[in-house]
Amino acid sequence: MSSLRETIRSLFTPVRPLPPGSYHYQAPPADERSYRLHLRLEADGQGILIVNASTILHLNPTAAEYAFYLVQNLPEDQVAKNMAARYRVPQEKALQDYRDFKDRIDTLISTPDLDPVTFLDFERQEPFSGEISAPYRLDCALTYRLPEGAAPAAAPTDRVTRELTTDEWKTVLDKAWNAGIPHVIFTGGEPTLREDLADLIVHAEKNNQVTGLMTDGLRLAGPEYLDSLLQSGLDHLTLILRPEIETSWTALQQMLAADLFVAVHLTLNEHNQEQLASLLERLAGMGVHAVSLSASSLSLADQLDDLRGQAASLNLDLVWNLPVPYSALNPVALETDGMEEPEGAGKAWLYVEPDGDVLPAQGIQRRMGNLLTDPWEQIWS
């Protein structure tokens, strides 16, 4: 009788979720697609799968478990056995479901502009919706210093009076990884003014974090410095183009010739609104595939919409919600004028100032704590 009761109870006992945690897969060099997968399993069994630091999929417990086996590179027959035993389904069905899941992820990897909801039947939420245990991205302002001749800084240098050391930034990166944050963008100021930039990228890469850089690119016009960043493992780069400086164009040419995803950021203002249309054409002609556009004033909203339409007609992908270096024309703060905070700020991403203070986003002066000295749980709560 006891055995029968246990058998009946087992039929109605929910499947225990896999242990929560973060997992990573980097395609081997022989795979031409050179893709990355980051999986974060939540305590309730649901998961977040990030494909190439761009496509974010919210997965139910069953799909999350398939993603776990995919990231672990487990053989298909073992996956089918595990799923059949845990979910009491035929092994053949579990195998077919897993193959279908793999095919959908392969499609996302090979065709990054596909909408998973429309084409793949995935239930994908916006990055700032739903409950999550940690942000998807950490924006690290390494310094508020700017090169000579740059626009006057609007950074709160009267409050941020020091920069973290190399070891302190490494501690911040480690704490972010342990919290489950898979994606780091180095910004500023001008981050290439930090001589330890390559070392910090290497450290983040050793953590298996995806790394990005936002820079005016002037220092990258020299192929040696660009190569040092590539060798460190940099995954993507956004160029804050200074079109009036020829060195900025030279740097862009160097970047486009490298094995690196490159986006170009342009800020529309009252002085350049007549030139930006031709700039977009020049960028498309050079082989740029992605741009980020913002405006220095809300009064330029219509012109900004026209430029975004032109970018689409030129087959330029639009990159959104990126941090930008502090300057007199801060696109993030200006575009969110009148809002308490940008949608997603403090949830989908966080912003770390040069001294380790954490803000919901650049320009939102609400201190959430210090990532170097305060416990992560206190900051996130």
Is the omega angle on the peptide bond into residue 21 within 30 degrees of 0, that is, cis? no
Model confidence at 93: pLDDT above 70:
yes
Q: What's the predicted TM-score (pTM) here?
A: 0.81
pLDDT recorded at residue 329: 44
Higher-confidence residue of 294 and 231: namely: 231
Residue boundaries of the structural domains of the chain: 13-120, 137-380
CATH topology of domain 137-380: TIM Barrel (3.20.20)
Whether 242 contacts 248, CB under 8 Å: yes
Side chain identity at 356, as an amino acid letter? Answer: G
Higher-confidence residue of 345 and 349: namely: 349
Model confidence at 340: pLDDT above 80:
no
First to last CA, the chain: 49
Model confidence at 200: pLDDT above 80:
yes
pLDDT in tens, 143-192: 999 887 776 666 777 788 899 999 999 999 999 999 989 889 999 989 99
Distance CA 344, CA 365 (A): 15
Mean pLDDT confidence for 65-75:
95
Average pLDDT score over the chain: 84
Q: What is the DSSP string of 221-240?
A: GSHHHHHHHHHHT--EEEEE
**What ranges in the chain are assigned the alpha helix state H?**
2-12, 61-71, 76-87, 91-110, 166-179, 197-206, 223-232, 246-257, 276-286, 301-313, 331-335, 376-380
**Taking CA 16 as the corner, what is the angle to CA 10 and CA 18, rounded to the nearest 5 degrees?**
150
Q: Work out the percent of the chain whose per-residue pLDDT is above 90.
A: 49
Chain-centroid distance, C-alpha 179:
15
Reduce the DSSP state of residue 15 to 3 states and report it: coil
pLDDT recorded at residue 263: 92
